[in-house]
Chain A
Amino acid sequence: MDPTRLQKLLTRAVPAACVALLVTAVPASAGILFPEAGGGSPGAEDIRTLYAIIFVLGFIVFVGVEGVLIWCLVKYRAKRGRVAAQIHGNTKLEIGWTVGAAVILVFLTIATFVMLPGIKNPAASDIDINGNPIASNAAFASTDQRKPPEGQALNIQVNGKQYVWQFTYPGDEGVFSYTRMYVPVGMTVTLDIESDDVQHSWWIPELGGKMDALPGYTNKTWFKVTEPGTYSGQCAELCGRNHANMYAEVVALPFEEWRQWYDDEAQEIADAKEYAAQERERLEQAEGEDATQGTSGASNTNSNPAE
């Protein structure tokens, strides 16, 4: 083959092969060489892409430096009659590798800041709070770091406790759940992460990075699941003896099913509240009867005399 054609072929084939390798190899080796992703959450995907960029650069540096190190060890091993060159240094070389190292890091800095908004800022939701598709995401592009366009996200309170996660959903119904968080597919979910006791850390590997739950602070993160399914994780910050068993699961359901779940929960809570109210009424009536019969002490049940 004539050399210019070979060169042309190589200039096209090598980058193409690299891209193909990244596209296919990264998801295939998730969990071995690359972080998890796969819930379709844009944040997690972007983190993995950024990781892959660092991985490629890091791998080149690794092979280069270890290669030269081993080559030096083999090539310059002591032999009879060999004399070591008495070199003390080389200023140009020092400047060269200082600048070289700095250039790689400048590149990584740029890559990070280009990727950052996609990771940090909640993406616009695909559906609104009633499950209707939103026509164009572009219309909701926001400069706000934290809040996606009003009403287009499900905001869930995440509360870490030794050793369980509690999730409180928005709405007057006061729906909550433990360990399993139910979310609709395609909707941006923003999380307000808090703790009641010690420090915990919220993490579902496939949906993105972790965020610490620290008492006295509200930490925020977000995700958007595009594939229905169950995504599991566990508390990532040492929180005591049972830290290993503080699990969390995100169950992503199609909107209709999620709505059904939500309504069922709301109904259950309403029923429970009603039952509790009835019980309270019954008890109060019973107390009232006791009081009329002259039994003392019953008045102390509702108020503390020490106050």
Chain B
Amino acid sequence: MALVDTAAPRAARPQIITGKIRPEPKGWTSWITTTDHKKIGILYLWTVAVFFVLGGVEALLIRLQLGAPENTLLSPERYNELFTMHGTTMVFLVVVPVWAGLANYLLPLMIGARDVAFPRLNAWSYWMFLFGGIALYASFFWTPPEAGWFSYVPLSTKEYSPSGGQDAWIFMAHLTGLSSMLGAVNFIATIHNMRAPGMGWGRLPLFVWTILIYSYLIVLAISSLAATVTMLLTDRHFGTNFFDPTQGGSALLWQHLFWFFGHPEVYIFVLPAFGVFSEVLPVFARKPIFGYKAIAAATAGIAFLGLLVWAHHMFATPSATVVLAFFMLSSFVIAVPTGVKIFNWIATLWRGTIEFRVALLYAVGGIGTFLIGGITGIFLAVFPVDWQLTDTYFVVAHMHYVAFGGSAFAMFSALYFWFPKITGRLLSERMGKVAFWLTLVGFHTTFLVQHSAGLSGMPRRIFEYQASAGWHVYNLISTIGAFIIALGVLITIINVVRSLKHGAIAGPDPWKANTMEWFTPSPPPEHNFDAIPRVRSVEPMKDYRRQIEELSGSEQRFEAGKPMAHV
């Protein structure tokens, strides 16, 4: 095979020498007209980064308002607008599209394809996402929505929320929903049809497995959201009465349809995060993933069960006990495959040689944090206990442990892990470690005490509280923690901006990783691979390294404790 250039003096790396077929397009027009999955991926990731900062600033304003009792920093109207924008931004414009962006970039590289199945559809998907975000934020300077990210009726109906902000929210849900669906269909087609020769289902990287399942979940769940927001739109403007009880509609219907989307949404944003953990841990433990099949099966199991647990968001609504019991049990059952994943990750670390790079720290910090969110989830699944805990800060804490601990930590882990592939440069490990510890400590400072605030009776979404309620200490700690997180994120941003120009050159495979994206140069050329290599195991790069070793006689394997990246 002529895949490997063995003649060059530093040929001791598995690398395809790619000939430039035609010059790559440059300039800003190349970005807005691109159908290259890598450029679209980068567009996605930058857009997500901007929304993440916006959502973060909103969170800081919320925390500032709650930092002291009877605070007058924000009016109730502004406060409701801010938590609505924060929730909507983080769910619809950050934690879901971030995986669309990352998968866009990585998926074809990981399965040995030259692009996704439908490149133009892919570009459409990105632009719909951007316009969805703009539709929402366009309302920000006039009348933002203020009925919460879940927009419960009747509060979100014309009668109680007459402003156009609510309509902006609906259009955001339509546009980002369309974007997610187009992306999902694209990923499904790509994964089913465009895998490299030899890559059977048992050799699919676990991140790709999670993206496949994520895509199926999007198709099933977002259709429910699309229908329900359309019903809200027609109720608001075209005289229908789907949700008006005085006209034979039902206010409870909204909650069922919304959470039929809303709970799978949790798995939509957390399964790819699990995929990141499953890719990062084996690389830095220098050990194969423990229980590949169990993790892949658990992913599918979680997704299936994730479609059957939606009413656990509705335990306090007027519902029959048998319904509550069903949703309690289905929520219990989903804890089993989730637990299996956590045990497998720990078993992957067990007897490995663990390299404490920033990507690994975020992965491990994410798993440890997510575990707490999983355990508090069991409390909330028991519906009589949920009657005490629901709609309090206990739930706020729980869902941030899941969403931040699962998804956001995985986001940062992925950033440190794949930044060298995307940009060709390494992020600073030293700054990364500082940022990691600030984020971790800040996170637990912010959210651990929120459990206690909830247990002592503090409901969600209140813009003020009396000093006599006894919640001010919890809230002050929480506010301080939020600013520690902000500092951590700020350092991460500085690190990214600085490393784009000044980071150490990464080379094609700085971590000696396992999956095929590391076979290409960093950044990869427009067509990814000159020749698609054959896949012979779930860790193809290990095979290629062994092959090069045999051909060239040079040591390719990684030795524990040595610096990993060629700097």
Q: Could you list which residues of chain A lie within 8 angstroms of chain B, going by C-beta atoms?
A: 30-36, 44, 46-48, 50-51, 54-55, 58, 61-62, 65-66, 68-70, 72-73, 76-90, 93-94, 97-98, 101-102, 105, 108-109, 112-113, 115-116, 119-120, 145, 197-199, 201, 203, 205, 208-212, 214-220, 233-245
Contacts of B460 on A, CB cut-off 8 Å? 236, 238
Cα A243 to Cα B292 with chains together (Å): 48
7 contacts between A and B (CB under 8 A): A76-B351, A81-B560, A84-B352, A119-B384, A199-B155, A216-B246, A243-B463
Contact status A76-B354, CB under 8 Å: yes
Q: Across the A-B interface, how many residue pairs have beta carbons closer than 8 Å?
A: 268
Contact between A216 and B332, CB atoms less than 8 A apart: no
Contacts of B155 on A, CB cut-off 8 Å? 198-199, 238-240
Among B35-43, B181-189, B262-270, B337-345, which stretch is in contact with chain A? B337-345
Question: Quick one: which of A77, A88, A211 contacts B288, CB cutoff 8 A?
Answer: A88
Q: Which of B360-386 contact A (CB under 8 A)?
A: 364, 367-368, 371-372, 375-376, 378-379, 382-386
Do the beta carbons of A102 and B378 come within 8 Å of each other?
Answer: no
> What separation, in Å, do the CA atoms of A66 and B372 have in the docked complex?
9
Residue among B76, B318, B340 making CB contact with A212, cutoff 8 Å: B318
CB pair B292 A89 closer than 8 Å: yes
User: Does B561 make an interface contact (CB < 8 A)?
Assistant: yes
Q: Is B464 an interface residue (CB 8 A)?
A: yes
Interface centre among B287, B328, B340, B388 (most CB of A within 10 A): B388
Do A32 and B349 touch (CB < 8 A)? no
Q: How far is the CA of A89 from the CA of B378 in the complex (A)?
A: 28
Judge whether B396 is part of the interface by a CB distance below 8 angstroms: no
* B335: interface (CB < 8 Å): yes
Question: In the assembly, what is the distance between CA of A244 and CA of B66, in Å?
Answer: 12
B290 and A87 within 8 A (CB): yes
Cross-chain contact A199 with B148 (CB below 8 angstroms):
no
Q: Known interface pairs A65-B371, A238-B152. Does A212 touch B316 (Cβ–Cβ under 8 Å)?
A: yes
Across the A-B interface, the 7 shortest Cβ-Cβ residue pairs: A209-B387, A216-B245, A31-B456, A244-B462, A80-B561, A85-B351, A205-B457
CB distance from A57 to the nearest CB of B (A): 8
- Tell whether, in the assembled complex, residue B251 and residue A209 are in contact, meaning their CB atoms are under 8 Å apart: no
Contact for B384 among A109, A120, A235, CB less than 8 A: A120
B10 to chain A, nearest CB (A): 24
Distance in angstroms between the alpha carbons of A144 and B301 in the assembled complex: 38
A78 to B349, CA, bound (A): 11
A54→B455 CA distance, assembly (Å): 15
- Cβ of B368 and Cβ of A215 under 8 Å apart? no
B455/A36 in contact, CB under 8 A: yes
Q: Point out the residues of chain A lying under 8 angstroms from B294, CB to CB.
A: 89, 94
Once the chains bind, are B385 and A51 in contact (CB under 8 Å)? yes
CA distance A238 to B376 in the complex (A): 22
Q: A97-B343, A215-B245 are in contact. Are A35 and B288 (CB under 8 A)?
A: no
| Complexed CA–CA distance, A52 and B270 (Å) | 28
Pairwise interchain contact A203-B292, C-beta atoms closer than 8 A: no
Interface status of B77 (Cβ within 8 A of chain A): yes
A67 to chain B, nearest CB (A): 10
B308 within 8 A of A: no
Q: Are B353 and A98 in contact (CB under 8 A)?
A: no
B341 nearest CB across to chain A (Å): 10
Query: Smallest Cβ distance from B262 to chain A, in angstroms?
Result: 15
Once A72-B350, A241-B76, A243-B462 are accepted as A-B contacts, the answer to whether A108 and B382 lie under 8 Å apart by CB is yes
- Chain B positions within 8 Å of A205 at CB level: 388, 456-457
> CA–CA, A50 to B160, complex, Å?
38
Q: Please, how many angstroms separate the alpha-carbon atoms of A220 and B321 in the complex? A: 12
Is there an interface contact between B392 and A236, defined as CB atoms closer than 8 Å? yes
Residues of A contacting B378 in the complex (Cβ-Cβ under 8 angstroms):
54, 58, 105, 108
- A204 nearest CB neighbor, chain B only: B457
Q: Is the CB of A236 within 8 A of B290?
A: no
Q: Which listed residue (B252, B342, B387, B455) contacts A211, Cβ 8 A?
A: B387
With A84-B353, A198-B160, A236-B391: A120-B321 Cβ-Cβ less than 8 Å = yes
Q: How far apart sit A66 and B288, CA to CA, in the bound complex (Å)? A: 22
Q: Are A198 and B154 in contact (CB under 8 A)?
A: yes
The answer to whether B287 and A84 touch across the interface, beta carbons within 8 angstroms, is: yes
Q: Are B346 and A68 in contact (CB under 8 A)?
A: yes
- From the candidates A215, A218, A238, name the one contacting B461 in the complex (CB within 8 A): A238
B459 at the interface (CB under 8 A from A): yes
Whether B340 lies near A78 (C-beta < 8 A) is no
Q: Which residues of A contact B562 (CB under 8 A)?
A: 80
Q: Are A238 and B372 in contact (CB under 8 A)?
A: no
The minimal Cβ–Cβ distance linking A209 to chain B, given in whole angstroms, is 2
Q: Are A76 and B350 in contact (CB under 8 A)?
A: yes
Residues from chain B with Cβ under 8 Å of A81 in the complex: 560-561
* B355 at the binding interface (Cβ < 8 Å): yes
A243 to B383, CA, bound (A): 24
Known: A58-B378, A203-B459. A238 touches B387 (CB 8 A): no
Contact yes or no, A88 B245, CB < 8 A: no
| Residues of chain A lying within 8 A (CB to CB) of residue B245 | 215-217
CB distance from A282 to the nearest CB of B (A): 37
* Closest CB in chain B relative to A234 CB, distance in Å: 6
When A80-B560, A83-B560, A109-B332 are in contact, do A208 and B387 touch as well, CB less than 8 Å?
yes
Question: Considering the chains assembled together, what is the distance between the CA atoms of A87 and B459 in angstroms?
Answer: 48
Residue among A78, A105, A113, A233 with max Cβ neighbours from chain B (10 Å): A78
Q: Check: B492 CB closer than 8 A to any chain A CB.
A: no
B160→A240 contact, CB < 8 A: yes
Q: How far is the CB of A91 from chain B (nearest CB, A)?
A: 9
Say yes or no: A219-B317 contact (C-beta < 8 A), given A47-B388, A73-B354: yes
Known A-B contacts A85-B287, A87-B290; the reply to A101 vs B457 at CB < 8 A is no
A244 touches B465 (CB 8 A): yes
Nearest CB in chain A to that of B456: its residue = A31
Q: Which residues of A sit under 8 angstroms from B351, Cβ to Cβ?
A: 76, 84-85, 87
- The docked-state distance in angstroms from the alpha carbon of A255 to that of B146 is 44
- How far does the Cβ of B469 sit from chain A's closest Cβ, in whole Å? 9
* Residue with the greatest number of chain B CB neighbours at <10 A, chosen from A58, A77, A94: A94
In the complex, what's the smallest C-beta–C-beta distance from B440 to chain A, in angstroms?
A: 13
Q: Find chain B residues with CB under 8 A from A115 CB.
A: 384
A94 and B371 alpha carbons, distance in the complex (Å): 18
Q: Would you call A216 and B375 a contact (CB within 8 A)?
A: no
Q: Which of B329, B352, B457, B462 meets A76, CB within 8 Å? A: B352
Q: Tell me whether A47 and B390 are in contact (CB under 8 A).
A: no
Complex Cα gap A58–B373 (Å): 11
A97 and B463 in contact (CB under 8 A), knowing A47-B387, A72-B350, A214-B318? no
